[in-house]
Amino acid sequence: MPAAAPPPRADTDTPQGVRRDDLPARTARLWPLGLVAALAWFGLGALTLAWPNKPAGFSDWTFTTEFGLAALAVGFLLLVPALAGHARTGRVGARLVHAGRWLVALPLLLALWEAFTAKLGLLPPPFFAPPQSLIDVAVEDWPRLGLSTAHSVRLLAHGFLLGALAGFVTGVWIGWSRAAGYWVHPVLRFLGPVPASALLPLAFFFAPSSYAAAVFLIGLATFFPVAVLAWSGVASVNRQYYDVARTLGASEWFLVLRVAVPAALPQVFVGLFMGMGASFSVLVTAEMMGVKAGLGWYLQWAQGWAAYANMYAALIVMAVLCSGLITLLFTVRDRVLSWQKGTVKW
């Protein structure tokens, strides 16, 4: 009988007969959406550099060349993973692939913004400024904008932390104590829905300073959602947990701190997220009324001088700041509630 054919070598061939040396070349496919994104950024850069700005009183926009070159640079940076294949770029490549559609949409939106303002003048200046005006603000006015951002962060931190702490303690107290539920809960339901900004005149009248009044208003805006969600979380704890703990000899403080509070933490974090959004809306109002620094004050100052590009820059900073704080709060929640994964819905 003829001898059987030898099995394929493990270091050269696969069961399908494909050489292992050829696998990287076959698996490193192009990233089509990345190519489209790179072309879109190249188009934005070419439009900005080749199309002259429309001459007008307010249309002598500086940093046009820098904005065009920055768009071309982003296009080159996206071209590398698009041609190399996103499978070779690891975690960064996975994030790029996930954001691929936004990487295409963003230069298209910026191109429309650029064309309607600096190139065609369909949106009249100074009310509408092109994208390169934001670079101008970042370069020329960064000390004032940075100082305003630092003041807003400090004010927001003081008001949010005080309001969250007071709301958490009040909510746990109402959910645990029948006396507090009888006396405090109706007051909370009656005064809680009142917007914090409606109490602005009273806050500035009774507070010793405008900064203290702003902290009070931000804390009040944070207090209500945190208190309501903490009360709801404590009140909805399964009574069998308390019975088991009492059987093992747990004290009242142990039941509150080690049973009720951990079980209510998921809803408490929901209240913190809601309080973060409410505190940002009150932050702008409070800084416009009496605080001598901050993003709200900066918006009012820019509006008074008709510096609308500065207003847009401040709004973008506020959006980035709010998004970053929410991301930080998500990270804290994931760390604090890591032991509850699999038992609660995320």
DSSP secondary structure, 189-253, as one string: HHHTTS-GGGGHHHHHHHSSSHHHHHHHHHHHHHHHHHHHHHHHHHHTS-HHHHHHHHHTT--HH
User: Per the domain annotation, does 73 fall within a domain?
Assistant: yes
The contacts of residue 191 (CB under 8 Å, 6+ apart) are none
> What's the mean pLDDT in 223-240?
89
Percentage of the chain modeled with pLDDT above 90 = 41
Residues 84 and 183 in one domain: no
Which of the four pLDDT bands, split at 50, 70 and 90, describes residue 269? very high
Q: What is the CATH number of the domain that holds 163?
A: 1.10.3720.10
Tens digits of per-residue pLDDT, 173-210? Answer: 998 888 888 888 888 888 777 887 778 777 877 788 88
Task: Give ∠ CA 99-104-108 in degrees, rounded to 5.
Answer: 140
User: Per the domain annotation, does 14 fall within a domain?
Assistant: no
Residues 120 and 166 in one domain: no
Residues 189 and 283 in one domain: yes
User: Per the domain annotation, does 304 fall within a domain?
Assistant: yes
Token output for 308: 């609308």
CA dist., res. 220 & res. 194, Å (int): 10
The contacts of residue 64 (CB under 8 Å, 6+ apart) are 48, 49, 53, 118, 130, 132
User: Per the domain annotation, does 291 fall within a domain?
Assistant: yes
3-state secondary structure (DSSP) of residue 40: helix
Residue 150: predicted pLDDT: 94
Residues 149 and 108 in one domain: no
The secondary structure of the chain in percent helix, strand, coil, rounded to multiples of 5, reads 75, 0, 25
Count up the domains in the chain and report the number.
2
User: Per the domain annotation, does 346 fall within a domain?
Assistant: no
Which of the four pLDDT bands, split at 50, 70 and 90, describes residue 115? very high
Tens digits of per-residue pLDDT, 282-304? Answer: 888 888 776 778 898 899 888 88
- What is the residue range of 278's domain? 142-337
Residue 40 has pLDDT above 90, yes or no: yes
Residues 96 and 233 in one domain: no
User: Per the domain annotation, does 316 fall within a domain?
Assistant: yes
Decide if 34 contacts 78 (C-beta within 8 A).
Answer: yes
Which of the four pLDDT bands, split at 50, 70 and 90, describes residue 21? very low
Residue 41: predicted pLDDT: 97
Residue 9 has pLDDT above 70, yes or no: no
Tens digits of per-residue pLDDT, 247-265? Answer: 888 888 888 888 888 888 9
Residues 118 and 188 in one domain: no
Residues 178 and 256 in one domain: yes
Residues 101 and 208 in one domain: no
Q: Which residues pair with 341 in a beta bridge?
A: 344
Backbone angles phi, psi at 244, to 5 degrees: -65, -45
Residues 205 and 303 in one domain: yes
- CA distances, 239 to each of 142, 171, 236, 242, 252 (Å): 56, 18, 9, 5, 14
Q: Determine how many CB atoms are found less than 10 A away from the CB of residue 339.
A: 8
User: Per the domain annotation, does 214 fall within a domain?
Assistant: yes
Q: Report the range of poorest mean pLDDT among 2-16, 157-171, 330-344.
A: 2-16
Residues 174 and 317 in one domain: yes
